[in-house]
Structure 1
Amino acid sequence: MTSHAPARSVHHPTAEDEVVGICQDLLRIDTSNYGDGRGPGERAAAEYVMGALTEVGLEPELFESAPGRANVVVRLPGADAARPALVLHGHLDVVPAAAEDWSVDPFAGEERDGLLWGRGAVDMKDMDAMILSVVRQMAREGRRPARDVVVAMFADEEAGGRFGAGWAVEHRPELFEGATEAISEVGGFSVDVGGHRTYLLQTAEKGIGWLRLVAEGRAGHGSQVNTENAVTELAAAVARIGTYSWPQQLTPTVRALLDGVAELTGLPFDPEDEDGVGRLVDALGPAARFVGATVRNTANPTQLAAGYKANVIPGRAEAVLDTRFLPGHEDEARATLERLAGEHVRLEDIHRDVALEAPFGGDLVDAMVAALHQEDPEATVLPYMLSGGTDNKSLSRLGITGYGFAPLRLPGSLDFSAMFHGVDERVPVDALRFGTRVLDRLLETC
Structure 2
Amino acid sequence: MSTTAPAIVPASEEAQREVVDLCAELIRFDTSNPTSDERACADWVVAQLAEAGIASELVESAPGRANVVARIPGADPSRGALLVHGHLDVVPADAAEWRVPPFSGEIRDGYLWGRGAIDMKDTVAVMLATARHFARTGTRPAREIVLAFLADEEAGGRFGAHWLVEHRPELFAGVTEAIGEGGGFSYALDDTRRLYPIENAQRGMAWMELTAAGRAGHGSSPNDENAVTDLAESLTRIGRHTFPVRLIEPVRALLAEAARLQGVDLDLDAEDLDAELAKLGHVADFMQVVLRNSANPTMFTAGYQTNVIPGRATARVDGRFLPGHEQELIDTIDALLLPSVSREWVNHDIAMETSFDGPLVDAMCAAVRAEDPDGHPVPYCNPGGTDAKAFTKLDIRCFGFKGLKLPHDLDYGRLFHGVDERVPLEGLRFGVRVMTRLWQDC
Using structure 1 for the length normalisation, give the TM-score: 0.93
Q: Is the aligned partner of 1:238 residue 2:259?
A: no
- Cα deviation, residue 17, structure 1: 2.1
Tell me the equivalent position of 1:256.
253
Look up the equivalent residue of 1:45 and give its one-letter code. C
State the distance in 1 between where 2:278 and 2:96 align. 37
Q: 1:270 aligns with which of 267, 279, 287?
A: 267
- Give distance in 2, aligned partners of 1:98 and 1:268: 46
User: Following the alignment from structure 1 to structure 2, what is the Cα–Cα distance between the partners of residues 265 and 24?
Assistant: 38
User: Which residue among 357, 363, 374 is the counterpart of 1:361?
Assistant: 357
% identity of equivalent residues? 53
2:106 corresponds, among 110, 123, 135, to 110
Aligned equivalents of 1:355 and 1:231: distance in 2?
Answer: 32
Rounded to whole Å, the distance in 1 between the matches of 2:81 and 2:144 is: 5
Partner in structure 2 of residue 191 of structure 1? 187
8 Å contact from structure 1 (residues 297, 325) kept in 2 = yes
> Could you tell me how far 1:13 is from its partner in structure 2?
6.7
Give the distance between the partners of 1:275 and 1:115, measured in 2 at CA: 36
Summarize the Cα distance change of 1:426–1:364 in structure 2 as closer, same or farther, 3 Å threshold: same
1:41-84 deviation digits (Å, cap 9, x = unpaired): 00111011000001111110001111111000011111111111
CA–CA distance in structure 2, aligned partners of residues 386 and 311 of structure 1: 46
RMSD: 1.4
Question: Do 2:150 and 2:160's aligned partners in 1 also have CA atoms closer than 8 Å?
Answer: yes
User: With structure 2 as the length reference, what TM-score do the two structures score?
Assistant: 0.94
Question: Size of the alignment, in residue pairs?
Answer: 428
Task: Supply the AA of the counterpart residue of 1:30.
Answer: D
Question: How far apart in 1 are the matches of 2:25 and 2:227?
Answer: 50
Q: CA deviation at 1:277?
A: 4.8
Matched with 1:8 is none
Equivalent positions of 1:136-151 (< 5 A) are: 136-151=132-147
Q: Report if the CA contact (8 A) 1:258-1:280 is conserved.
A: no
Deviation at 1:148, TM superposition (A): 1.2
Which one of the candidate residues 154, 160, 184 is aligned to 1:164? 160
Q: Which runs of 5+ in 1 are unaligned?
A: 1-11
| SS of structure 1 residue aligned to 2:92 | coil
Match of 2:9 in 1: none
Q: Tell me the SS of whatever aligns to 2:348.
A: strand
Quote the offset at 1:281 in angstroms.
6.0
Instruction: Give the CA deviation at 1:136.
Output: 0.6
For residues 183-202 of structure 1, what are the alpha-carbon distances to aligned partners after superposition, in whole Å with 9 as ceiling and x for unaligned?
01131111121442221111
Q: Which amino acid aligns with 2:329?
A: A
The runs of 5 or more residues in structure 2 that have no matched partner are 1-11
The amino acid across from 1:350 in the alignment is: V
Which amino acid is the alignment partner of residue 212 of structure 2?
A
Residue 41 of structure 1 corresponds to which residue in structure 2?
37
State the partner residue of 1:224. 221
Within-5 A mapping of 1:199-214:
199-214=196-211
Q: Note the C-alpha offset of 1:397.
A: 0.9
Please tell me the residue identity of whatever aligns with 1:76.
I
Q: Corresponding residue for 1:9?
A: none
Tell me the distance in 2 between the aligned counterparts of 1:416 and 1:309.
43
Task: Say yes or no: does 1:21 pair with 2:21.
Answer: yes
Q: Note if contact 2:110-2:425 (Cα within 8 Å) is conserved in structure 1.
A: yes
Distance in 1 between residues matched to 2:375 and 2:104, nearest whole Å? 34
Amino acid of the residue matched to residue 290 of structure 2? T
Q: Which amino acid aligns with 2:252?
A: R
Partner of 1:284: 283
Q: C-alpha distance in 2, partners of 1:265/1:41?
A: 46
* Counterpart Cα distance in 2 of 1:280 and 1:442: 34
> What amino acid sits opposite 1:205 in the alignment?
Q
Residue 235 (structure 1) shift: 1.0
How many angstroms apart in 1 are the aligned matches of 2:50 and 2:358? 34
